Amino acid sequence: MRQTADAHVAEPGLAVVEVAAADDETALAVQELLAARCAIAPADRTTREPGEHGVRLRCYLDLRQGPGS
């Protein structure tokens, strides 16, 4: 995965979450759980690293705002 930009965590309440899961469905389900609790910039797909098992997904959270903000 690429480096996290400082802007994504520049203030309290901002976070970057990286999910590692066995499959796309699990990773996307975790993202949906997060989206039900706070504002989120969701990922539209997972990534696979060559030679590693499973998938990864990175999303950006803003805990200062509610879902759908």
How confident is the model at residue 53, as a pLDDT? 93
pLDDT tens digits for range 26-52: 999 999 999 999 999 999 999 998 999
- Is residue 26 one of the residues assigned to a domain? yes
Alpha-carbon distance 65 to 63, whole Å?
5
16 strand-pairing partners: 60
- Is residue 39 one of the residues assigned to a domain? yes
Q: If pLDDT is split at 50, 70 and 90, which confidence band does 2 have?
A: low
Domain residue limits at 32: 10-62
| Range list of H helices, 1-69 | 24-35
How confident is the model at residue 27, as a pLDDT? 97
How confident is the model at residue 11, as a pLDDT? 85
Q: What is the mean pLDDT of the chain?
A: 86
- Report the number of distinct structural domains present in the chain: 1
Q: Read off the pLDDT of each residue in 15-27 and give the average, rounded to a whole number.
A: 95
Please report which helix (H) or strand (E) contains residue 48, including its range.
Answer: none
* Chain CA centroid to CA 30, Å: 9
